[in-house]
Amino acid sequence: MNTRRYRILVALCGILGVIALGVYYAVPVPLPPDNATATQVSEFANRYHDTSLLDAWLQATGSLLSVVFFVAIVHMAGAATRMAGMVTLLASAVLLAMGLIEGALAIDTVQATANGHPESALTSFDLTGVFVHVFTIAPAPAVFLALGTVLLGARLLPRLFGYLALALGVAFEILGFAGLFSATAVTGVIFLLIGQEIWIVAAAITLVVRKQPAGVVRIEEQTTLRKH
């Protein structure tokens, strides 16, 4: 595949992933309170049936496209067999799995309500509330800390992106720990998520418009080297 076309496709994955997740976060759905009863959750699921299903699709699709973007950066940086690259791949897989599981629980909340199982719907709804904590404790910090290390060791993107990725990783870890004990810290995660999406879009655009610097192995060359 032509390197230029490959970069464009990778950038599109990143940007489309941000758009999908942006719409997911922007859709106004007034969630029941944390101490909601099975009746309240059932009323919510019936009222926002279609919106909840759309949200689950947007979250899963956005997470997948974002992970493809992260994995492609590792590939283009030639870091897939380095420790930082392998950690990025592992953390990205965990990140995608979390997004799919959270989406599955959101879908189950709707379907269990429709099938007359309000207690199951309540359990699934309660479980969706823990993902913000797990997300900021493990996969998000690991992805950005490892990805920042990858970028600092390659010429794929300006070094600023590597430093910003490291900063995001540290911030996610700090707020992830604080969020276990403070609701205010959990609210702060929203700003980090915005920063994450801005980082992805900026990196995607730079990936397309920046000339390939000397020392970056072309996709075709990587394939040829593997054959020999």
**What are 46's two structure tokens?**
């019936």
Q: What number of residues does the chain have?
A: 228
Least confident of 21-30, 33-42, 77-86, 103-112: 21-30
Contact 199, 164 (CB under 8 A): yes
pLDDT digits (tens, 9 = 90+) for 74-91: 999 999 999 999 999 999
pLDDT confidence of residue 213: 54
| pLDDT at residue 55 greater than cutoff 70 | yes
DSSP 29: -
pLDDT confidence of residue 26: 84
> What are the strands, taking DSSP E only, across 15-123?
none
Assign 215 a pLDDT band (cuts: 50, 70, 90).
very low
* Mean pLDDT of the 140-159 span: 95
CA distance 9 to 211: 16
* Mean pLDDT of the 44-64 span: 94
CA distance 75 to 57: 27
Identify the three-state secondary structure at position 61.
helix
Assign 2 a pLDDT band (cuts: 50, 70, 90).
low
pLDDT confidence of residue 34: 82
* Residue 56 or 225, more confident: 56
pLDDT digits (tens, 9 = 90+) for 160-204: 999 999 999 999 999 999 989 988 888 888 899 999 999 999 999
Least confident of 6-10, 21-25, 213-217: 213-217
pLDDT confidence of residue 220: 41
Helix axes 38-47, 83-114, angle to 10 degrees: 100
pLDDT digits (tens, 9 = 90+) for 100-144: 999 999 999 999 999 999 999 999 999 988 888 899 988 999 999
pLDDT confidence of residue 194: 92
* Mean pLDDT of the 63-76 span: 96
| pLDDT at residue 18 greater than cutoff 70 | yes
